[in-house]
């Protein structure tokens, strides 16, 4: 049996508002296997973004443990968490957040050069990835010269440029029209299934959620599996 690449075990997170304590996540247990796509469907304010931030090592939980590629992370230093996040986790957000002064190719190559890869090799690999996403002819264009769907596909390419184990996406099609959203979503599914990437995708789009391997929601700060 394949080992999970992302495990959240007993994860809790709360915030303080004056003297009051607000419990966002109370006892989260969730595991993702390689190539598995999981939809996180919950209303605004339920804690989806907090869950994604904790799973992506952007926040520390108040209790529980996060395992990434088998490594426990709670006692890691900030530098070690940053290195693990850079190499093992990719992020896609509702807005693409591409660097406007760089071309699509440069945006995808940049994470690889930050990770120490030679620039020429990083650009070669970036072009291969853009070709795979049917963006090769647009590689030398600036983000402002791309359509919304193209920008989001470049953001996906950037997120997976360092071959992460896990992709975390927060409403990645939320700013797109239905047809473009379906195309971008199909890109995500193809990447996961063809590369063994595990994907946790927060979405309000139930039609897209129904196409994933599993659907989960948040109820009173806990993960609940949906039929």
Residue 79, classed as helix, strand or coil, is: helix
Residue 158, classed as helix, strand or coil, is: helix
- Counting runs of H as helices and runs of E as strands, what totals does the chain give? 7, 10
Looking at residue 97, what is its pLDDT? 86
Q: What is the 8-class DSSP label of residue 147?
A: -
Mean pLDDT of the region 9-37: 90
List, for residues 68-117, the tens digit of each pLDDT value.
989 999 899 999 999 899 889 999 887 778 999 999 999 999 988 887 88
CA distances from 143 to 63, 107, 110, 159, 173 (A): 40, 9, 15, 16, 17
CATH topology of domain 33-47+77-223: Rossmann fold (3.40.50)
Res. 34: pLDDT tops 70: yes
Q: Which of 33-37, 143-147, 171-175, 216-220 has the lowest mean pLDDT?
A: 171-175
**Which residues, listed in sequence order, are joined to residue 68 by a DSSP beta bridge?**
6, 71
Centre a 10 Å sphere on the Cβ of residue 179 and count the other Cβ atoms it contains: 9
């Amino acid at each position: 049996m394949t080992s999970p690449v992302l495990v959240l075990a007993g994860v809790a997170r709360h915030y303080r508002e004056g003297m009051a304590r607000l419990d966002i996540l109370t006892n989260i247990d969730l595991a993702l296997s390689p190539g598995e796509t999981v939809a996180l469907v919950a209303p605004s304010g339920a804690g989806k973004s907090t869950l994604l931030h904790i799973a992506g090592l952007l926040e520390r939980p108040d209790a529980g443990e996060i395992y990434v590629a088998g490594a426990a992370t709670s006692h890691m230093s900030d530098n070690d968490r940053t290195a693990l996040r850079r190499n093992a986790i990719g992020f896609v957000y509702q807005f693409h957040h591409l660097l406007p002064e760089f071309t699509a190719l440069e945006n995808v190559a940049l994470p690889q050069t930050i990770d120490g890869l030679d620039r020429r090799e990083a650009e070669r690999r970036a072009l291969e990835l853009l070709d795979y996403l049917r963006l090769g002819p647009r590689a030398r264009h600036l983000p402002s010269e791309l359509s919304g769907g193209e920008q989001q596909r470049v953001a996906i390419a950037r997120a997976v440029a360092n071959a992460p184990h896990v992709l975390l996406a927060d409403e990645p099609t939320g700013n797109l029209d239905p047809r473009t959203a379906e195309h971008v979503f199909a890109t995500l599914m193809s990447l996961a299934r063809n590369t063994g990437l595990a994907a946790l995708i927060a979405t309000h789009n139930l039609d897209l959620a129904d196409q994933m391997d599993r659907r989960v929601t948040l109820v009173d700060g806990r993960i609940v599996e949906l039929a």
